[in-house]
Every structure is written in C-alpha cells, then in structure tokens.
Amino acid sequence: MIGETVDRGRYDGSMAGTPVFLGCSDRDPHIVLERVRESAAVFEALEADVTERIYEGMGHTINEDEREFLRRLVSSVATAE
C-alpha cells in the first residue's frame, strides 16, 4: 500500500481469493517492513490469497525465490479455467 499511512477504512469489498504476493527484505531502505505487514493485513481482510515472504538482509532487490514464485503463480492463473 502506497502512502504515508494505511487507512484500512478506505478499502472494502472482496478480492475473492485473488492471489497477492508481497516479497520484501527486512532491511529494504525504500519499503518499511511494517508497511508490508499492514498491506498483507488489508489484503487478507479483503479475502485475498496473500503470500508474504520476508528475506533477511537482502536490501532493495528481487531474488530468485520471488521470481520462481511469480512464474508459478502467473502460470497457474493463466492456465486456470
């Protein structure tokens, strides 16, 4: 969730199991860990299928685990009927 704060009251409805992936480092200089957790809570309250992965000491980058997870996710959504 982008912005200075997360106002949970701004979000309503249902994501009805839509997959949401949140991957982040515990030491990302651009994304505060607490914001990842708050965002996950909002998506969970909206009934999304949330996967949150926090990586130790990674900084602000994307790793192979994230890429592989997203490859599988996109493949499963693309082949779903």
Percentage helix, strand, coil for the chain under 3-state DSSP, each rounded to 5: 40, 15, 45
Backbone angles phi, psi at 27, to 5 degrees: -130, 40
Calculate what percentage of the chain has a pLDDT beyond 70: 99
Place of tokens 């009251």: 9
**What is the rounded average pLDDT of the residues 43-61?**
97
Give residue 25's pLDDT band: very low, low, confident or very high (50, 70, 90): very high
pTM for this model (two decimals):
0.88
Band (3; pLDDT cuts 50, 70, 90)? confident
Q: How big is the chain, counted in residues?
A: 81
DSSP 56: T
